Amino acid sequence: MTAEHLTVDVVITGAGMVGLTLANLLVQQEKSIAIIDHNPVAEFNDSHPVEARVTAVSPGSQAIFEYVNAWELMQSKRVSPFTDMHVWDEAGEAKIHFSAKELQRNILGHIVENRVIQTSLYETLNRNANIEWLLGEHLNEIAVRQDHAEVLLDSGKSISAKLVVGADGGRSIIRNLAGINYHEKSYQQMGLVALVETEYPHSNTAWQRFLSTGPLALLPLNHDQESQKMCSIVWSVSQDYADELMRLNEHEFANALTQASDMKLGNIILKSNCAAFPLISGQADTMIQSRIALVGDAAHTLHPLAGQGANLGFTDAAVLADVLTNTDRDMGSLKVLRKYERARVGETQIMQKAMDAFVTAFGSTNHAIVTARNAAFRTADSLQPIKKFFMTHAMGLSKDRPTYAR
């Protein structure tokens, strides 16, 4: 006998940004939800220092947050709109500039701390009575029956649901328990993230430089509106170079960063510890099984080059919620879940291949490849239809976006 048994419509494993986005969408449909995570949800108050781990929230993702009434909470904490993006290549003179004005919009997106997104989604959910929180719990087993799935926790609790959703990241327990193969590739790089202060204002612009060692992005933070000199950096470098950089003192690291940024924003000062994480891409063989669906990093992981990983996950959540609200069938059946997979697998695979191609092309010092990519930059910058196509898709504003992202 288990210590406790619950019955809900949907079990979501993972109380991160994507899992909580999906939960918010499903409670709007009056579905009962159980959320399992072995960690508590992060807390936030104004006295907390700015977090280096951030997400470039696209307007499409913002629309999802607005639909579930979480965006206003994020704005009340800390969000940083950016209007422009400037990209240039270390090898050659090619550059490309994206501006919101080219699409007759006010912004390209917002840089938002991951903690702000997660806590705001959590606060929104806490207004709802249809949520069973199982935080601090560990998933032990999942059994798929004909008309439901049953999840067993280490504590002895069990939960029955029509559908179990894995939103538990790149090391997804649900994916592993379901026996879904996952193909992972290492880029042989580390991502370094930190907060920095720049000598010159960032001008609400995201700056990205392609280096032979990997791309460097400076993402603008507007918490100090007067100076506009705070940025979050994401620097992709080889494992050996990452080790070398992490051994530097604060001043030496800042000097290396200043040189890598081409002094575009002047001298840089390090304002936080630097964290490092391995850069990988991964793709599950399938995003679904009977009674099981995968969203976000549990289904696919990307290189942070274009900042699209989290936005892909938010769109996964929106598409799955859209499929579940527009069906009279059993929500955990393969007939229903295949609609979700068909709607998502194409975009995620295209994005994976595009990121792989970018990493390969911009990591090369071959003269022919350098010449070709500089020519591509110049062409893309001069042809408005090409620029608008890339901007529209990166902003989550394509015509085929899900209902909740409109």
Give one DSSP letter per residue of 145-208, joined into a string: -SS-EEEEETTS-EEEESEEEE-S-TT-HHHHHTT--EEEEEEEEEEEEEEEEESS--TTEEEE
Domains of the chain: 5-79+110-184+281-362 (3.50.50.60)
Is the pLDDT at 197 greater than 70? The verdict is yes
Q: How is residue 298 written in tokens?
A: 């549990």
Is the pLDDT at 367 greater than 70? The verdict is no
The pLDDT assigned to 1 comes to 36
Percent of the chain with pLDDT over 70: 86
SS3 83: coil
Position 374, amino acid? N
Number of other CB atoms surrounding residue 241 within 10 Å: 17
Characterize the bridge pairing of strands 139-144 and 131-135. Answer: unpaired
Query: What proportions of the chain, in percent to the nearest 5, are helix, strand and coil?
Result: 35, 30, 35
Q: Taking residues 331-355, report their average pLDDT.
A: 86
Position 310, amino acid? A
Angle, CA 245 vertex, CA 241 and CA 251 arms, to 5°:
155
Q: Which of 279, 292, 38, 336 is nearest to 180 (CA)?
A: 292
Give the residue, 213 or 265, on which the prediction is more confident. 265
Position 282, amino acid? G
Is the pLDDT at 342 greater than 60? The verdict is yes
d(CA 202, CA 207): 8
294 close to 284: Cβ distance less than 8 angstroms? yes
Is the pLDDT at 381 greater than 60? The verdict is no
Is the pLDDT at 150 greater than 50? The verdict is yes
Round to the nearest angstrom and report the end-to-end CA distance of the chain. Answer: 47
Residue 102 burial (C-beta neighbours within 10 Å; 0-12, 13-18, 19+): middle
Characterize the bridge pairing of strands 109-113 and 54-57. Answer: antiparallel
Q: How confident is the model at residue 373 (pLDDT cuts 50, 70, 90)?
A: low
Is the pLDDT at 33 greater than 70? The verdict is yes
The pLDDT assigned to 386 comes to 55
Percent of the chain with pLDDT over 90: 66
Q: How confident is the model at residue 364 (pLDDT cuts 50, 70, 90)?
A: low
Least confident range of 76-85, 216-225, 368-377: 368-377
Residue 120: partners with Cβ closer than 8 Å, 6 or more residues away: 65, 70, 71, 73, 74, 77
Q: Which of 189, 199, 196 is nearest to 363 (CA)?
A: 189
Q: Which of 245, 243, 225 is nearest to 233 (CA)?
A: 245
Q: How confident is the model at residue 361 (pLDDT cuts 50, 70, 90)?
A: low
Least confident range of 20-29, 55-64, 288-297, 307-316: 307-316
Q: How is residue 74 written in tokens?
A: 């994020």
Is the pLDDT at 292 greater than 80? The verdict is yes
Q: Taking residues 216-240, report their average pLDDT.
A: 88
Residue 33: phi and psi, rounded to 5, are -130, 140
Is the pLDDT at 379 greater than 80? The verdict is no
Is the pLDDT at 233 greater than 70? The verdict is yes
Residue 222 burial (C-beta neighbours within 10 Å; 0-12, 13-18, 19+): middle
**Maximum distance among all alpha carbons in the chain?**
70
The pLDDT assigned to 98 comes to 85
23 close to 36: Cβ distance less than 8 angstroms? no
Q: How confident is the model at residue 378 (pLDDT cuts 50, 70, 90)?
A: low
For the chain, give the mean pLDDT.
88
The pLDDT assigned to 96 comes to 82
- Report pTM: 0.91
Is the pLDDT at 358 greater than 80? The verdict is no
